[in-house]
Structure 1
Amino acid sequence: MIDDFRMTPGVSSEESDATYKRLVETLPPGLTFVALHPNTSGDIETIVPPRAHFRTDEFRILKSGAFASWLTETGIQTVGFRPLRDAMRGV
């Protein structure tokens, strides 16, 4: 059912925009599950201090609309869990 899996890249803040854009541009044909973990600043710095920027950078990119624009530019369509659930149930 799922052809590929991608997740939060985990790069420096300086590389984050280019890395997320590349993530979108290199998605293969088929159904890819992209697991993202955006967070605002605050508690995340206490939970995972050395990697908190992974999640806050992700939040910034998603909130800015850049990620959505990259999806549109590349013709990537998004889908929620309901159609996936229905497909697994054979509905």
Structure 2
Amino acid sequence: MDRGKVSVAEPYLPPAQPAPSSEFALARLGAYWQALGVTDPDQIAALSEQALRRAAESPESPPGLDSVARALVAAGELLDDWLARALEL
């Protein structure tokens, strides 16, 4: 077999993308809380920090999510928990 004509295949996976910065994650979380009607900047910062901590501590994050997506999932879970407590479910 003539191996001289075999070309190198392109890599199957795209090159790794750098992880989003924590500032970007905080900005996205801030926009999330503002969309939900939170207007106090201190409260937005506290909620965002809590969501980031929860995302970092959560081992059950869906695979393949970047840090911003994990933080947004954690923020949604926080909201679910608060609503459940408020409704006493």
The TM-score range, normalised by the shorter chain, is under 0.3
> Counting strand residues as a fraction of each chain, which structure ranks higher?
1
Q: Which structure has the larger Rg over C-alpha atoms?
A: 2
Structure 1 length as normaliser, TM-score?
0.27
> Counting helix residues as a fraction of each chain, which structure ranks higher?
2
